Structure 1
Amino acid sequence: MANFELAGLSAAPGEVVKGHLGHVTLADGNKVGVPVVIVNGVEDGPTLVVTASIHGTEINGTGALLKTVRATDPQQLKGRLVAITVGNPFAFQVGSYFSPVIAPTGDGINMSSAPMWPADSGGTVTLRLAGVIGEALKVATHSIDVHSNPPDAIPFTLIRRDACPDEKVLNEMEKMAEAWGFTVIDSPGRSATGVVGSSLAHGIPSMTPELIADFFLWEDNTNSGQIGITNTMKAIGMLEGDIVPQATPPMKGDFYMADRLTSHKGGLMWIKHPPGTFLREGDTAVDMMDVWGDLIEEVKMPYDGYCWSFTGGVGYTQVVPEGTQIAFTFRER
């Protein structure tokens, strides 16, 4: 079995190699790179690329990926794990969902929507880093983009059936999602940007698991990510062993991403039901109360369905102005 080569890094069979996939240069000459750990197995097998912290607020994906890297014995591995531990180092550095504005032309880009393959090589620094990730996707047989929701959420995995080019990719993606062990929710659409869209557009099975409590490195949320990544490696033939169930059992059903709930009055949001509770059309999901204690709005479900998370305002405070998107919803087909 030959060495695995990527972006100037070389990992011999059974070796773990750490470095950067590529860099962009700032005005003062400092370079910002995309950190990666390559765990190369001793037998041929799949190449799984896993990204974390594409959004800089969602750091527990990084924690889960680091735990997985530390626990994976390359002597027991078929193929290789390419662990991109911080997908957007600019956003990660300042704890921001988007890249911060660091140039006169602006940036403020959502890395999940950035073109990666093909990349915008003449774009801003974030778009150029997206292209660095795209180079890793070109060697992948499978990919996972680990994200996270606020603390008041259920763990789930987004798949994209519409974006799959054929049944083989669809079936492999669904196998990965089932093995991960979270509730599975389909996200309609064919966008070919970001890790998942770029992968699927080129026939690489991919998915987006969503952990909970994104700002926090807790044992339970990082453990669930480690279990999910390891389960996926077992399912695609990289590791031996049984699938380990998640602490939160998955909801069963054919679910799809629906919409968001929005506040039309500013004030304090009082969540009426835990995330994942089935609500009928017209049921109240959130009460809005003003600072004088008066009920000023009942935010109701526009259809039968569920809320997967309650997002709130800045820093997830439950004090929000009018026009705030306060919850994500999903439904059953």
Structure 2
Amino acid sequence: MSELHKFLFEGLPVRGMIVRLTESWQEVLARRASNSDTGAYPQPLADLLGEMTAAATLMQANIKFNGSLILQIFGDGPVKVAVAEVKPDLSLRATAKAIGEIAADAKLSDMINAHGKGRCAITLDPKDKLPGQQPYQGVVPLIDEKGRKLERMSDILQHYMLQSEQLDTTLVLAANDKIAAGLLIQRLPVKGEANLEGTAEGGRDQVQQDQIGHNEDYNRISILASSLTREELLTLDVDTILRRLFWEETVRRFEPQTGMLGPHFACTCGRARVESMIRGLGRDEADSIISERGNIEVGCDFCGKQYHFDAVDAAQIFTAPGDQMPGSAVVQ
């Protein structure tokens, strides 16, 4: 069962989370594999998308945002885009689009940053937008401050957090065809609402400790977390991981989130959304597609569901309610 575990280090400005996506991640892969038009993801791309999905789940749970968190990679290699979306209830979905061959031993930069033009974007899309309100989006290149290509998803996101959020963050990510997992360690500010009881008293020392990269407690725990190997993250249970890494620390754990309260697969596509998309094409374009193909077929990239609209369906989309013929109805 997929699970999310949150914990704090007593008396220290450091928090952490571990996510283990099992059946929810397998559902993502199974739906892709069952799509006759696309087939299964190549293993390197599947592993990358799994790491993205685990990371997006950790970030959504970390910020408690009332809306969708969308993690995207835009590539200039064979992988053109990869997307992981997580809702406030931790429902998740993910997809990727690749053009061309992906070698079995392809590195991240081979797939998405072949010419140094790849980008990582995190979008926060509020559930209840105010009039004129736009989603927040931060974008960073897939290179470090010295222009070197970043080769791990964890490095990309740590770089993002420093550049966009000014937060010390350590991530360990791993995925295979059975599980996508992640460990997040983050420094809390010494001052402000997130301050933990028992942190250092005020003064110049506190200000210095709160600067990026200068908190000794965070740095120590970050080093311990970074020692976790991919194999350990994929195979060990959460109790064992925490005990092995932080046996000298006092860790306060919270009730794990599982089942429908934890990470779970769900897709938000629907016929009404597809109708809205067709309406956005315009009647002339819709009629042209039907004239050429006989109907309009739209498939969801996330869950694989197919939506079909014939000439009558399309006509109803563009018919105002007051203009309907007796006995007809607009599909919702």
Q: TM-score range by the shorter chain?
A: under 0.3
Q: Hey, which of these two has a bigger chunk of strand by percent?
A: 1
**Greater Rg, structure 1 or structure 2?**
2
Q: Hey, which of these two has a bigger chunk of helix by percent?
A: 2
Question: TM-score, normalised to structure 2's length?
Answer: 0.22
Relative contact order, CA 8 A, sep 6+: which one is greater? 2
